[in-house]
Structure 1
Amino acid sequence: MRKSLGTIVTEIQEQERKFSVTCSGLIEEAFQMTVFLQELLISSKECVLSSGFVNEEKEIEFFKMIKPQILGKLIYYNKLYRIETACPVNNGKMYHNYFSTHLTELKIEFSEHICNSHFYRYYRSGRVDKDNEYFKRGQINYLDGLSSYVFEIDPQFSTYYDYKVARIIANDLLYAYLLTKITPEENPDTFFQNTDDIKELSWTDSKNALIELMYALYASGAISGGKVGIRKLTAISQVLFRISLTDVHHAFHRMKTRAGSRTLFLDQLKQSLEEYMDKDL
């Protein structure tokens, strides 16, 4: 039986929490996650090839949402492992230059191969009108001048664009990781280097809830007098809570126009705190 998106995400997060506690360091953690995600991808492929999809909606959901979550994290952890194992020193100028170089390369790759594409703008805007073209097998348009990678994929387990979504997810995670490496004041490892409990931190509410909290902290100037922007808060949150945050600005704009309370999570926080206070009375 094929797993749902929620089940897949939860399963990945549980493994991340497990390895963050049991592994000796980031290198071993990245290796173990790479092995786990590779096995998860293989089992998902076997399920798709043997059972197919009950309808087009399920096929689109799998290639747009489910497979990219697995493959995106797999690309991320494999790259993280390669970067960490090749790091020449543990600190100093050479250390900073090493990670700065990787960040520059990531930005160049993003600029040349991702952000300027029509598909990237389609995906980031949350559109669905071309999902039948992008996320159903056998719909690849070779007239678009696609990357040569398309000729290497298994057409029974890829639409080509599921890989592009995975690359976007991996890019976001790698950017956050590299940013914390070259900016010590934003590095959770520096903040909590003597605290074992940091390894168990994870965000268990919705992504929108975390985005709402970040914007509230930013708007109130509660962190560094408001000098830390949303991009840096997003990067810190992604690494600290081991979560991928995409379309942050679009999510915030949707909050501004949603029906009812525009601050659902903050309202819940206030209620939860007051109830907790009442317990001590």
Structure 2
Amino acid sequence: MKECFNKILSEVDSMIDEIDLFGYDIIETSLSMIYRLQNILTNLRIKLQTYTFPTKEEEIFFFKNQKPELLSRLLFFHKIYRIETQCPTGSNEVIKLYINKELDNLTYFFNRNLDFYQYYRSHSTTYDEHYFLRGKTDIRLCTDSTLFDKDPNFSTGYDYKVAKILSNEMLRIYLNKKLQKLDNENHIGKQYQSISTKIPIRFTGKKAALIELGYALVSSGDINHGNIEIKEFMNYLSTMFNIDLGGYYDAYIAMKERKDRTSYLNKLIENLSKRMDEDDIR
């Protein structure tokens, strides 16, 4: 069982290593990982129905160390999915407030389970037979009512708590990195504002041309991996180039009806090709 489990965990961690936790597709990615990990745990549960641990020490090791490692990854991605799908839309400050509340929830769980945290982190083994052997749980030690809804062949009650501790630690790192990224964005934004006040960059062509370029970029799927609305990108271009792009949809309708639908993009291709030809001559 030990070698089989180590192989499973290694494969899972290889999958996780390929994930960009801060990518724009994290919601879809985390949901996919939830399904994968659920299937893996279900298969492991089925195997355990007919498996007998050679010694109680091996059973304790499985429920204290091995199963929680796998379950913690499921809890981690489930939490990410919930956090990201419920994350408010707004300023970075609003998002930071939301993330800090999630960090407070981790502290709340820690405070409620302080005794077990101390037991687990100190590598104590005194109550291992009560905590990590099936059918040995002492109700006087476990006041968590969820114990009664666990599969007695696949859980001791406390393997879940260990998994929760591990997942919370992963989540703490994840949330703090998100806060750091938001702080970096604010810093870069302030730097850009400082530079832009000294050297203003403006789009001096026709407004319709910038709208055509904006629609082309959004349609390409190369902005935020395609996860952006045209309104959001037009507002971004308006701010970036200090130009009012209001009425962009009417301009788009007019663009569709004209004979040369992509006149500005064609002009860009022509001018770039001309520049390249001139550079070759030099």
Distance in 2, matches of 1:185 and 1:67, equals 34
Q: Give deviations 1:223-257, integer Å, cap 9, x for gaps.
A: xxxxxxxxxxxxxxxxxxxxxxxxxxxxxxxxxxx
Q: Which has the larger radius of gyration?
A: 2
Counterpart in the other structure of 2:78: 78
Counterpart in the other structure of 1:130: 127
Contact 1:5–1:65, Cα closer than 8 Å, also in 2 = no
Q: Give deviations 1:148-183, integer Å, cap 9, x for gaps.
A: 111111111111111110010011011111111223
Counterpart in the other structure of 2:10: 10
Contact 2:71–2:163, Cα closer than 8 Å, also in 1 = yes
The answer to whether the aligner puts 1:142 opposite 2:139 as a matched pair is yes
Contact 2:59–2:133, Cα closer than 8 Å, also in 1 = yes
| Distance apart, 1:100 and its partner CA | 1.4
| TM-score w.r.t. length of structure 1 | 0.60
Counterpart in the other structure of 2:94: 94
Identify which of 150, 153, 171 aligns with 1:153: 150
Letter of the structure 1 residue corresponding to residue 144 of structure 2: S
Alpha-carbon distance change, 16 to 91 in structure 1, aligned in 2, over 3 angstroms: farther
Contact 2:96–2:182, Cα closer than 8 Å, also in 1 = no
Counterpart in the other structure of 2:171: 174
SS at match of 2:67: helix
SS at match of 2:163: helix
SS at match of 2:12: helix
Contact 1:133–1:140, Cα closer than 8 Å, also in 2 = yes
Letter of the structure 2 residue corresponding to residue 51 of structure 1: Y
Alpha-carbon distance change, 7 to 154 in structure 1, aligned in 2, over 3 angstroms: same
Paired positions, count: 186
Letter of the structure 2 residue corresponding to residue 57 of structure 1: E
Alpha-carbon distance change, 144 to 132 in structure 1, aligned in 2, over 3 angstroms: closer
Alpha-carbon distance change, 145 to 71 in structure 1, aligned in 2, over 3 angstroms: closer
Q: Give deviations 1:94-146, integer Å, cap 9, x for gaps.
A: 111111121122212221x22x22x3212101123432222110111112351
Distance in 1, matches of 2:14 and 2:107, equals 30
* Seq. identity, %: 34
Counterpart in the other structure of 1:31: 31
Distance in 1, matches of 2:35 and 2:81, equals 11
Alpha-carbon distance change, 30 to 91 in structure 1, aligned in 2, over 3 angstroms: farther
Distance in 2, matches of 1:121 and 1:93, equals 34
Q: Give deviations 1:248-274, integer Å, cap 9, x for gaps.
A: xxxxxxxxxxxxxxxxxxxxxxxxxxx
Distance in 1, matches of 2:87 and 2:38, equals 24
Distance in 1, matches of 2:119 and 2:179, equals 31
Distance in 1, matches of 2:25 and 2:91, equals 16
Counterpart in the other structure of 1:232: none
| TM-score w.r.t. length of structure 2 | 0.59
Q: Structure 2: 5+ residue runs without aligned partners?
A: 189-282
Letter of the structure 2 residue corresponding to residue 71 of structure 1: L
